[in-house]
Amino acid sequence: MLFDSNIKRGDLQGGIDTVYMLPGGKYGRHVKCRKCQLVYVNPIEKASRINDNYSEMENIDASIIRRSRLLATKSQVKLIKRYKSNTTLLDIGCGEGFFLFNASKAGYVTKGVELSRDAARYARKEFGMDVEAKPLEELQLVENHFDVVTLWVVLEHVPYPLPLLKEVHRMLKPGGLLAVSTPNVGSMLAKILGKRWWEIRRVHINQFTTKTLMDILLNAEFKNVSSVCYRETISLLYLFTPILKYLKVYEKVKTLLYPDSILGKIMNTIMVTYPSKLNYSTVIGFK
């Protein structure tokens, strides 16, 4: 059995599930809670199988991702600075530390948490970041300690996100800021691409809209919750990769672009900027 059980759950308010987008197959059965409108995979796979899914994901050349993420996270730092400057900041699911690096350059005292040992090691080695490669619950972080906590494209991976948000609330100082972003199943791109939307993956257990993301923050007792937007910046090559997969020509042309072709190098130097709301929901809230 790949699954622990058929779990009927509503992380926001509770409710009865209905089949929503995908009845099953490659990406699992997606359901939608009639009451809270949260979309998620049900049944949920066993934790061991979820971890296997990460290793099964097709990797884009690391240099493409790293260049794009380093630029994109600068915009995320600018977003945070609108509300909190030069304070303590915790980034949960910090990956290879690009956001932490840019935040530390901007004057924040940073700490990261990342389950991937390889990613955490990269953040420490390349950027000198303080990153723990442990589950958050094992760290026993102090209550009322951080001024800012960020969760960039993390909640969609968490089977039960509400307890995590409540733990974040505990760690924040009074008046502290939480910033969360997830792929937006209600976005223009998601609606156009439907089941071929590249954010529908086995590792994405939850599919939030802006409304359900705001609702779950409110349910975790955050105040002044609002939707915000920043400028996402990625290379032309990184942008074209999911489009080529959508058109089902990726396998035919990838040798022309990856990893070290002249065309690929040129496309990786051309940067494209667009509003994050085209594909993502970004929401902030305060303790």
Please report, for the domain that includes residue 237, its CATH number.
3.40.50.150
How is residue 3 written in tokens? 């699954």
pLDDT digits (tens, 9 = 90+) for 20-73: 655 556 667 788 887 788 888 877 765 544 444 444 444 445 666 777 788 789
Q: What is the pLDDT of residue 16?
A: 59
CA distance 137 to 36: 27
**Cα separations (Å) of 275 from 188, 213, 282?**
12, 18, 11
Q: What is the pLDDT of residue 22?
A: 58
Say whether the peptide bond before residue 259 is cis (omega within 30 degrees of 0). Answer: yes
Q: What is the pLDDT of residue 270?
A: 84
For 42-56, 213-227, 253-267, which range has the lowest pLDDT when averaged over its residues?
42-56
Average pLDDT rounded to a whole number, residues 124-148: 94
Given pLDDT bands bounded at 50, 70 and 90, which one contains residue 108? very high
Name the residue range of residue 91's domain. 3-286
Q: What is the pLDDT of residue 84?
A: 96
For 4-8, 152-156, 199-203, which range has the lowest pLDDT when averaged over its residues?
4-8
For the cut 80, the answer to whether the pLDDT of residue 14 exceeds it is no
Residue identified by tokens 């709301």 is 277
Per the structure, the count of domains in the chain is 1
147, containing H or E segment: strand 146-152
Name the percent of the chain lying above pLDDT 90.
46
For residue 107, the Cα-to-chain-centroid distance in whole angstroms is: 24
CA distance 192 to 47: 32
For the cut 60, the answer to whether the pLDDT of residue 272 exceeds it is yes
Contact of 173 with 144, CB cutoff 8 Å: yes
Contact of 171 with 149, CB cutoff 8 Å: yes
